[in-house]
A and B are shown apart, each in its own frame.
Chain A
Amino acid sequence: GENVEQHPSTLSVQEGDSAVIKCTYSDSASNYFPWYKQELGKRPQLIIDIRSNVGEKKDQRIAVTLNKTAKHFSLHITETQPEDSAVYFCAASMNDYKLSFGAGTTVTVRA
């Protein structure tokens, strides 16, 4: 099955700085890559996703890049704010109803 590795496990950034989280996947058949944000005690929330026919996607302060050759994808958050503090999960799917999640990154934005 698909194996997704996520780094770093924790990330502390100063407010206003950028944050980058990286994930690698094992199965080249994976073609859908979502990112979820989960605040303490709340649901995982889909914040951005990318499909394998696209290299980059942006939505305001967040962007995702995909390198299919290297089998890795990254989440970039610019101008971080305290409300960006949360656990972020990457995931990969082969369009088979299964999402394989990374282990998660705990992001702390210092004011």
Chain B
Amino acid sequence: DTEVTQTPKHLVMGMTNKKSLKCEQHMGHRAMYWYKQKAKKPPELMFVYSYEKLSINESVPSRFSPECPNSSLLNLHLHALQPEDSALYLCASGAQGGTEAFFGQGTRLTVV
């Protein structure tokens, strides 16, 4: 079952709010990813967790804070975001050598 589940599907938050995005996979994948996608653009890599350890941070601002509580779960904590952070946030997981990536449905985030 190639299923990556993300919650919530939609989120509207103010610039002073704190919120979290959640991602879950039960495929036994050991790599999990956060991507950001703006309209009509390809996904941009934000973070990679490999075996529950942060292995890549693509110079993402500290207002985005990832967390991997266990091998099935990935969170993205959001604080003091800017309107330009509004985007589709995609979680993905992968198995073989960190190349394949299966995406979740995404959280459409609007910062007001």
Q: Which residues of A contact B (CB under 8 A)?
A: 32, 34, 36, 42-46, 49, 87, 89, 91, 93, 95-99, 101-104
Assess whether B43 is in contact with A104, with CB atoms less than 8 Å apart.
Answer: no
Instruction: For the complex, give the distance between the alpha carbons of A109 and B53 in Å.
Output: 43
Q: Which residues of B contact A (CB under 8 A)?
A: 31, 33, 40-43, 45, 48, 50, 55-56, 90, 94, 97-106
Contact residue among A43, A95, A103 (Cβ-Cβ distance under 8 Å from B97)? A95
Give 9 nearest A-B pairs by CB, closest first: A101-B42, A97-B98, A32-B99, A43-B103, A97-B48, A93-B99, A95-B97, A44-B103, A43-B105
Contact residue among A32, A44, A95, A99 (Cβ-Cβ distance under 8 Å from B45)? A99
Instruction: For the complex, give the distance between the alpha carbons of A46 and B102 in Å.
Output: 7
